[in-house]
Structure 1
Amino acid sequence: MTPRELLWELVSTPSVSGGESDAAGVLVDYFEDAGRNAWLDDAGNVRAPGDDGVLLTSHIDTVPGHIDVREERATSETPQGDGETVVRELWGRGSVDATGPLAAMAAASVATGASFAGVVEEETTSSGARHLVEDRTEPDAVVNGEPSGWDAVTLGYRGFLTGTYTVATESAHSSRPDPNAVQHAVAWTERVQSAFDDDDPVFESVTVKPVDFDGGLAEDGRSVTATVETQFRLPPGTTASDVRAAVADCTEVGAVAWSDDSVPPVMVSPRTTVAGALRAGIRDAGGDPAHLRKTGTSDANLYAAAWDCPVATYGPGDSALDHAPDERIDLADFDRGVDVLTTTAQRLCTS
């Protein structure tokens, strides 16, 4: 099976978080057909051990949302901006985030003998990555698979924290001026957002994002309740404790329950061996490498926190299309991504 065939097969196989088993089976078959030992661990991750000079790892799961899997031709400006060229694109959920990087890593692992892991539930709980760092020995280096564009290396991600605010008030006629629970919840949200407002760039700021709101008269009619689930993105230098303390100062009534699966931010040096190997791979493929800082969060945060080895993130695909209804990947860029990862692994593998 060629790398493109593997990509098509994986994109065609639904793998929403919690339902990755069929796609995991595709990966196991791919490695076994190449003569590599591969299996599913207790978390549902695909494990294909090899040369631990570098661990190539990406996530199997995608967000929900069906997109018909198809190949289309499109026009794109030339790099010099002096005309247009025809490109071939593969459409489908996960083609960018992160099935494209996943397939490229699997192909590079087979080509070089590098260790590989395809992990589950990155889009929800990161249970696969959490299990991986507890269950295996530390590799010499990690390349985490997320879309960076084929000619860029991602060095930084913000951290992640979730808090759920709840409040209840006694029921009363709506003509009374005293605030009810819904008003308290709205006011709390505004205070918290104001507490973190600043003029810093997004990557260097705490982002407050309410993602779920529920409120109204309780079933027994005796109280009004409200609940706000809120996600926080943390820049390097800010801890979960910092955010919890700031939110406590904003919480005059009600209470906040914090998740216990926070993810720390990460910002790594561009001078590590893994970043250098990726840049060399990009140059060998004809690119001019760039460095990125992402405003989201990835499993790279967990690997960098758990292991004392160099970590960088790389993968073909335009991250502007992550989770989008028109998610698609340029197949020529995918091919370049395979080449970059193959060169990177060849430089880092020890045998």
Structure 2
Amino acid sequence: MQVDVVELLRGMLEIESLSGREERLAAFLVERMSALGLHAHTDEVGNAVGVRETPNGAGEIEREIVLMGHMDTVPGRIPVRIEDGELWGRGAVDAKGPLAAMIAAVALQAPPEGVRFTVIGAVEEESATSRGARHVAAMRRADMCIIGEPSGSGAVTIGYKGRLLLRCGMEQASAHTAGPGPSAPERMADWWIGVRTLCAALSAGRERLFDRYLPCLRELQSGSDGITEWAMAVVSVRLPPGAEVDELAGRVRELAGDGRLAVDAHEPAWETGRDDPLAKLFMRSIRAHGARPALKLKTGTCDMNIVGPAWRCPIVAYGPGDSGLDHAPNERICIEELQRGVEVLRGVLAQV
């Protein structure tokens, strides 16, 4: 069988699939995976699922290898095109490219005896809900898991920082700007400065970026109707392994005073380590395809943070593409790297 991964990815890129609106892409992937010989369907929450298996002599499946990417993207239309050996489009890197590589690899590589390969295109990874991954974590039990995220075809990611997503609101009676008291926006600014200062103090002495608390102000709004003035902020704190989340949330609440504080999402950091059996398989396959393998720790968060703690199995993230182009207006993937990523995945799947 031949699989044109470039044509597959181009078709995926032509379909806009913002978080919560992945239905058209899911239907497309189910149709394409079925045509490639996988048993494909959409599950209860809208994930696109494709299965290929080889029962043992007793007709049983002994192990399941889950390859999970995500179908949704952040907003921002990028005209889909090929220029100078690169395929452009929103999601080319994050993370339709890695998902297309997974589908192609499973279609091309038969499972060993007693093994099932399950490819999942998850919904809502780019939103705080992570609905697709949470459903999969609750309904399945993988023996190994590959998360489809851009690591570059010559590297594999063995850890992602956690995340605490905070929403803070300040509200008070409107007053003249020449008055003595701080405005709601000024109080919010003080709260944000306090959060940054707290994270810096908690990170003191930690050399690796992966081990620090990294706050980011994601949204800031304010307004007044002449009677009441208000301010609202959304802050994401990237968490190191072992972070004391309850203590951190409590101290952030103290900084908010009489403001309203809500925790919109929390995922713990997850790090597998360089001795992870799956990481070793990837390093071997990358070497076999002419590259010097690298291990990466990412300061972002992905579905590894959801299924890793639930399954506690060998798990890594892998995918072709430059993660520096995630969410960027010039998002694109090198076609040669995309194709090399398929072959690296095939090499891993042949050894599991």
Q: Quick check: 1:163 aligned with 2:170?
A: no
Cα shift at 1:161: 1.5
The residue that corresponds to 1:309 in the other structure is 313
Q: Say which SS state the counterpart of residue 42 (structure 1) adopts.
A: coil
Aligned length: 330
The residue that corresponds to 1:42 in the other structure is 44
Q: Say which SS state the counterpart of residue 230 (structure 2) adopts.
A: strand
**8 Å contact from structure 2 (residues 67, 119) kept in 1:** yes
Q: Quick check: 1:277 aligned with 2:281?
A: yes
CA distance in 1 between partners of 2:331 and 2:172 (Å): 44
Give CA-to-partner distance per residue, 1:211-242, whole Å, 9 cap, x none.
2222232x3x3322221111111111214213
CA distance in 2 between partners of 1:272 and 1:183 (Å): 48
CA distance in 1 between partners of 2:295 and 2:86 (Å): 25
Q: Say which SS state the counterpart of residue 50 (structure 1) adopts.
A: strand
Closer, same or farther in 2 for the Cα pair 1:242/1:345, shift >3 Å?
farther
Cα shift at 1:53: 4.0
**8 Å contact from structure 1 (residues 13, 23) kept in 2:** yes
Q: Quick check: 1:59 aligned with 2:64?
A: no
Aligned pair partner of 2:119 in 103, 112, 116: 116
Give CA-to-partner distance per residue, 1:123-161, whole Å, 9 cap, x none.
00211001111122x121000000000000101111112
**8 Å contact from structure 1 (residues 239, 264) kept in 2:** no
Q: Say which SS state the counterpart of residue 235 (structure 2) adopts.
A: strand
The residue that corresponds to 2:150 in the other structure is 147
**8 Å contact from structure 2 (residues 165, 236) kept in 1:** yes
CA distance in 2 between partners of 1:172 and 1:5 (Å): 60
Cα shift at 1:33: 0.9
The residue that corresponds to 2:59 in the other structure is none
AA aligned opposite 1:46? A
5+ residue gaps, structure 1, are: 74-87
Cα shift at 1:25: 1.7
**8 Å contact from structure 1 (residues 56, 109) kept in 2:** no
Q: Say which SS state the counterpart of residue 266 (structure 2) adopts.
A: coil
CA distance in 2 between partners of 1:99 and 1:329 (Å): 10
Q: Quick check: 1:234 aligned with 2:211?
A: no
CA distance in 2 between partners of 1:331 and 1:242 (Å): 46
The residue that corresponds to 2:294 in the other structure is 290
CA distance in 2 between partners of 1:142 and 1:286 (Å): 24
AA aligned opposite 2:149? E
The residue that corresponds to 1:85 in the other structure is none
Aligned pair partner of 2:94 in 91, 94, 97: 97
The residue that corresponds to 2:251 in the other structure is 246
The residue that corresponds to 2:135 in the other structure is 131
The residue that corresponds to 1:172 in the other structure is 175
**8 Å contact from structure 1 (residues 303, 311) kept in 2:** no
Structure 1 segments, 4+ long, off by >3 Å, are 50-53, 198-201
The residue that corresponds to 1:205 in the other structure is 212
5+ residue gaps, structure 2, are: 54-62, 112-116
AA aligned opposite 2:216? K
**8 Å contact from structure 2 (residues 174, 227) kept in 1:** yes
**8 Å contact from structure 2 (residues 159, 273) kept in 1:** no
**8 Å contact from structure 1 (residues 184, 253) kept in 2:** no
Cα shift at 1:279: 1.0
Moved more, 140-149 or 180-189: 180-189
User: What pairs up with 1:177-192 in 2 under 5 angstroms?
Assistant: 177-192=180-195
**8 Å contact from structure 2 (residues 146, 318) kept in 1:** yes
The residue that corresponds to 1:323 in the other structure is 327
AA aligned opposite 1:93? R
CA distance in 2 between partners of 1:239 and 1:123 (Å): 25
The residue that corresponds to 1:78 in the other structure is none
The residue that corresponds to 1:82 in the other structure is none
CA distance in 1 between partners of 2:71 and 2:173 (Å): 47
Cα shift at 1:185: 0.9
The residue that corresponds to 1:71 in the other structure is 82
AA aligned opposite 2:212? S
